[in-house]
Structure 1
Amino acid sequence: MPTDTSALVTNGTDASSKPPSSSKAAAISVLDPSNFPQTLSSETIYISLVYDPLDIPAYLRFTRSPTAGANVLFLGTTRNNFDHRPVSRLSYSAYPSLALKSLYAIAEDVQKKHGLEKVVIVHRLGEVKVEEESIAVSVSSGHRASGWKGAEEILERVKARAEIWKREWFADTGEVEEGVWRANRDTDGHGNIVQPQ
């Protein structure tokens, strides 16, 4: 996988981690897929935002290490429902330059905290159909406990902090055309809806 720690093109206008308002949504929705993938990486961390389907074998190759006894891979996929409503598809948008920096900081912090050898976080942008992967988190560690804990903590922090938003299209109402913007952190690890604070 390529290494690119140079400055990246900034698309969008909203630096917060809240879902965009309709005017901000218009600016964010014009992200140009030809400017992607956008990547930040080092010898032990690989972060990327992509429009194409995720390259899962490449992420496992990156995290594999002769000193790692555990390789943990999490794939977040689009399911066909949310809160008992049928979902036809999702679309993801982001503030790329900030999202990449946030994802890298999360990876670096969790890597140190749990003693992880290598970390990959890759998030899709654009339309992600039902059963397709929207995020991959892959980590390697000396032992499984730190790998499990580290991968889960990365995912929870990404949902809480990264400048990435999803838009859901429901198949049961007129919202099929408009969609509904939603923060990634709207549900917890058990699928329970988290009330805004």
Structure 2
Amino acid sequence: MATESSPAVPSKQPSSQTSSILDPSNFPQTLSSETIYISLVYDPLDVPAYLRFTRSPKAGANVLFLGTTRDNFDSRPVSRLSYSAYPSLALKSLYAIAEDVQKKHGLEKVVIVHRLGEVKVEEESIAVSVSSGHRASGWTGAEEILERVKARAEIWKREWFADTGEVQEGVWRANKETDAQGNSIQSK
């Protein structure tokens, strides 16, 4: 059963006021168990804490993926990204993804942490860390988690370009606009 806290990173309870649902002072927000840690944060990601959580004496492989803001998209200069979420649903979706992929690939432990708010170029917006008995299940499981998060989690990305007036408003991006290799996916 998931709980609202974790020994790896302290959590705060979300405010009941709708206007403060994304107030950074109400974060981090987490769901966790002995083998799964899910969190939404506004602060820079604490990668060493996530690796400590996934470390296990049963694991011969520890896989870490960090999604980082790059300085371009589709040949346009990107100045930053910002992320928004529906926290209570996003946490439940991330936990369900972690639980399902953990069972499917026999993963020992799973961490999914997504950053909200502004994420500058070269900063990380998502961390997926898994441990497994062998590397093949760790690689496959971590990639499947990332693809499912992009397809399902109630987290939205806004891209800010440095070459147009869109710097003031940004452009909302669907996470599914590119495949795992970065190739554009055409809408039908």
So what's the TM-score if we normalise by structure 1?
Answer: 0.87
1:94 maps to which residue? 85
Q: Is the 8 A contact 1:3 1:42 kept in 2?
A: no
Report the Cα offset of residue 31 of structure 1. 1.7
**Alpha-carbon separation, structure 2, partners of 1:113 and 1:142:** 14
Matches within 5 A, 1:165-176: 165-176=156-167
Q: Is the 8 A contact 2:54 2:129 kept in 1?
A: yes
Q: What RMSD in Å do the two structures reach over aligned CA positions?
A: 2.0
Deviations along 1:5-33, whole A, 9 cap, x unmatched? x9855787xxxxxxxxxxxxxx89x7200
List alignment gaps of at least 5 residues for structure 1.
13-26
1:181 is paired with a residue whose SS is strand
1:172 is paired with a residue whose SS is coil
Which residue identity lines up with residue 38 of structure 1 in the other structure? Q
Matches within 5 A, 1:132-171: 132-171=123-162
2:39 maps to which residue? 48
Which residue identity lines up with residue 95 of structure 1 in the other structure? Y
Aligned equivalent of 1:77, options 52, 58, 68: 68
- Check 1:56–1:10 CA distance in 2 against 1; reply closer, same or farther (3 A cut): farther
**Alpha-carbon separation, structure 2, partners of 1:9 and 1:115:** 36
Deviations along 1:54-79, whole A, 9 cap, x unmatched? 00000000000011000000000000
**Alpha-carbon separation, structure 2, partners of 1:70 and 1:64:** 9
Q: Is the 8 A contact 2:14 2:27 kept in 1?
A: no
**Alpha-carbon separation, structure 1, partners of 2:122 and 2:130:** 22
1:177 maps to which residue? 168
Counting aligned pairs with the same residue, the percent is 85
2:4 maps to which residue? none
1:121 maps to which residue? 112
Question: Displaced runs of 4+ in structure 1, greater than 6 A?
Answer: none
User: Do residues 63 (structure 1) and 54 (structure 2) align?
Assistant: yes
**Alpha-carbon separation, structure 2, partners of 1:71 and 1:82:** 30
**Alpha-carbon separation, structure 1, partners of 2:187 and 2:54:** 35
The structure, 1 or 2, with the larger RCO (C-alpha pairs under 8 Å, 6+ apart) is 1
Report the Cα offset of residue 195 of structure 1. 2.5
Which residue identity lines up with residue 37 of structure 2 in the other structure? Y
**Alpha-carbon separation, structure 1, partners of 2:42 and 2:187:** 29
Deviations along 1:155-174, whole A, 9 cap, x unmatched? 00000000000100101111
**Alpha-carbon separation, structure 2, partners of 1:128 and 1:55:** 14
